Homo-oligomer: A and B are copies of this chain.
């Protein structure tokens, strides 16, 4: 059934039915939250294995002391293998890759990149593929970095637009990317997009891509999406210093209590460490070693992620199936992603309806990520994008969530169609 082809009378009937259902839902006093990409307790229970500390007696004694600013070799090697870079290109951080991103931007603003002019001096701008990760955009907004939207399509950011912008504006200093299982669309950048990002001409010689590879091993299918190796492609294209790549174990071990890293060219690594050495003596190497004991190898990480997949894939399926069953593929009022990995489903509703859906859900006890959040300054001009985070919620609550969500989508959209 395509809502847009219905008569006013038919719409009014649906509206009335949905309104009655909505009122009945509200009266239940539900309280469900699918706003943030948090692992659920069953996932975190898998990580409890880590706290057995098997092999801890083999920890080199020096790891308990100051020093080794760039982290322990075991974890540098492991992250290097995951990201396809050299261990010498990896700096281990604390528990938060977001913190590494924030610090990197702060340093570049204040001190410049590799001896260049401080970004602060030139009114730095960032390209922001949209929809994207709200916390990336929040950092830019906090630092007063102007954000320029770039639409995402199935292959990644619109590269014609990106190339044109970076070629002509020297104040464009950075670009946010979540290249694999993108937050929130689930898209993985195509080889062609990655190649173009690596080889494009930029007016700013100190332009940097912030490659947030948060979901590098976070598959929802047995097969992983292929993502081209941007560090390698940048080197080939003669732009070896173009990328900072970030990742963490926040959704492999404990969320907010994992370990993180930044990978970059040796030039960039040297530049980062020259500032980082003022900031701290070393990050938590004991925790790094505990992670190494648990994670062991890339293959073992894949096995761990398979266990987590078994927990969360049904949650994604439950939502997608509910949309298929209750909205239908050609409703004309909503489409959604069915991602191969990552932590989010993007629900795209009719233009000018997302905020209404969000508010209706909220009043019915369902907390969503605020409409607009996946856009710079919280502004979704089409007001159509909603981000859904299925992982944290229990299976029974997810049923409630989808029931509320489907009802609110139908209600908001018929309401809108009746207005027009």
Cβ-closest chain B residue relative to A97 = B280
Q: Which residues from chain B contact A143 at a C-beta distance below 8 Å?
A: 110
Q: Is the CB of B99 within 8 A of A280?
A: yes
Interface string of A277-288 (1 = CB under 8 A from B): 011111111110
Cβ-closest chain B residue relative to A36 = B66
Given contact pairs A278-B142, A280-B96, A287 touches B285 in the complex (Cβ within 8 A): no
Given contact pairs A64-B255, A98-B280, A138-B278, a sample of 12 additional A-B residue pairs in the complex whose CB atoms are under 8 Å apart: A38-B65, A44-B64, A44-B65, A65-B254, A94-B284, A95-B283, A98-B279, A142-B278, A256-B284, A256-B285, A257-B286, A284-B284
Q: Which residues from chain B contact A142 at a C-beta distance below 8 Å?
A: 275, 278
Is A167 at the interface (CB under 8 A from chain B)?
Answer: no
Cβ-closest chain B residue relative to A277 = B138
Q: Is the CB of A256 within 8 A of B66?
A: yes
Is A341 at the interface (CB under 8 A from chain B)?
Answer: no
Indicate how many identical chains form the complex. 2
Q: Is the CB of A257 within 8 A of B280?
A: no
Q: Is the CB of B279 within 8 A of A102?
A: yes
Most chain B beta carbons < 10 A, residue from A38, A44, A256: A256
Q: Is the CB of B64 within 8 A of A257?
A: yes
Is A239 at the interface (CB under 8 A from chain B)?
Answer: no
Q: Separation in Å of the A290 CB from the closest CB of chain B?
A: 9
Cβ-closest chain B residue relative to A98 = B280
Q: Which residues from chain B contact A314 at a C-beta distance below 8 Å?
A: none
Is A47 at the interface (CB under 8 A from chain B)?
Answer: yes
Q: Which residues from chain B contact A47 at a C-beta distance below 8 Å?
A: 64
Interface string of A85-129 (1 = CB under 8 A from B): 000000000111011001100100010000000000000000000
Q: Is the CB of A61 within 8 A of B41?
A: yes
